[in-house]
Amino acid sequence: MKLVTIIGARPQFIKAATVSRAIAAFDDITEVIVHTGQHYDANMSDIFFDELSIPRPDHHLGIGGGSHGAMTGRQIEAIETVLMAEKPDFVLVYGDTNSTLAGALAAVKLHIPLAHVEAGLRSFNRKMPEEINRILTDHAADLLFAPTETAVRNLKSEGLPAERQRLVGDVMYDAALFYRERAKEPKWFEGLSVQKGNYILATIHRAESTNDPACLTSILQGLAQADAPVILPMHPRTHARIREFDLEVPEAIHVVPPTGYLEMIWLEMHCAAIATDSGGVQKEAYFHGRPCITLREQTEWVELIESGWNTLVGADTGKIAAALSSLTRPEEGKPLYGTGNAAELIVKLLYEDAQ
């Protein structure tokens, strides 16, 4: 069996690596990895692939930048060319990027079976391009690998056939377990004079958090009122907006350089709590047993809200400050994202379906 995996953003490489490791257990499965180039990242060097044990792409399309329509259209054209040459038995896509949708459309137009990892996620905010990408991909896919029971309910509510749905758990949990032992302390941490277990880890990067100066200011002011020191790895977009708007970061916030994945895992494991606008970091907080506040009005990961691990606060200074002062660690309950074998289940189900 031959699989073509389509990915275009750094987090997708980490998710796809879990499945690639499961594929390695099969002698008769060949995987061809296609990187669209949607998110250019200078850090995706040999060190990135070696440290994270990630297979290097077989095809790098170099398509990033431009409008959503232009990018997606160019990606469809290039992916179609690869698929016609490779003739795979399945195309595998992840998540909700433009690369995900482009891979999905290229596959279905060529009548190649399509599988979607992280199927069924919904924020119910159709203004988010990611929401449109994930909905369209789900409705095009032949196999829907859902990470949670909530995701399965979403697929059912949209009338998608039950025979296409598979509840497998979350490959990000697989990744968290694998990389936990490889996490490393950032070189700059000791110089902050911040105690392990007694700081708030914050991340801010989404356009809706950073493009409005009032919104960004509210978030920074809310974080500054935390009872513990705040560590903020500064995303390039956030840094650019702070300079553009001539904003001052409060002294209570320790601004540090952007971190690599293994450093981020270490910071998550050793913090007291997390404040973020990232979907992935919300889950990683849970994986490492840390309460989280989310600087958004909606989240795809509603089970984190329902279980008390996560609190939605938006960009409201008062809500952020109040949530940070009252964070508690919920009691352990039923695992929300599987048992850490999602990748194995995905490969097994793909293999069985192709027979």
Check residue 136 and give its pLDDT.
98
190-325 CATH = 3.40.50.2000
pLDDT tens, the chain, 355 aa long = 999 999 998 889 999 999 999 999 999 999 999 999 887 555 455 667 787 888 899 999 989 888 989 999 999 999 999 999 999 999 999 999 999 999 999 999 999 999 999 999 998 989 888 999 999 999 999 999 999 999 999 999 999 999 999 999 999 999 999 999 999 999 999 999 899 999 999 999 988 999 999 999 999 999 999 999 999 999 988 999 999 999 999 999 999 999 989 999 999 999 999 999 998 999 999 999 999 999 999 998 999 999 999 999 999 999 999 999 998 888 888 899 999 999 999 999 999 988 7
Where do the domains of the chain lie? 2-170+338-354, 190-325
**DSSP H or E run through 207:** helix 207-210
Are 2-170+338-354 and 190-325 in the same CATH fold?
yes
Give 317-321's long-range contacts (Cβ < 8 A, gap of 24+). Answer: 317/218, 317/219, 317/221, 317/222, 317/225, 318/222, 319/222, 320/218, 320/219, 320/222, 320/223, 320/225, 320/275, 320/293, 320/295, 321/222, 321/225, 321/226
Residue at 301: amino acid letter: W
For 170-204, write each residue's pLDDT tens digit. Answer: 999 999 999 999 999 999 999 998 999 999 999 99
For 272-307, write each residue's pLDDT tens digit. Answer: 999 999 989 999 999 999 999 999 999 989 999 999
Exposed, middle or buried, 208 (CB in 10 Å: 0-12/13-18/19+)? middle
165, 166, 169, 171 alpha-carbon torsion, rounded to 10°: -90
Check residue 128 and give its pLDDT.
85
Check residue 40 and give its pLDDT.
59
Question: Could you count the other beta carbons within 10 Å of the beta carbon of residue 24?
Answer: 12
Q: Which residues are catalytic?
A: 205
Exposed, middle or buried, 115 (CB in 10 Å: 0-12/13-18/19+)? buried
Measure the CA–CA gap between 188 and 186, rounded to whole angstroms. 5
Evaluate whether the domain defined by 2-170+338-354 bears CATH number 3.40.50.2000: yes
Structure pTM?
A: 0.91
Measure the CA–CA gap between 337 and 169, rounded to whole angstroms. 5
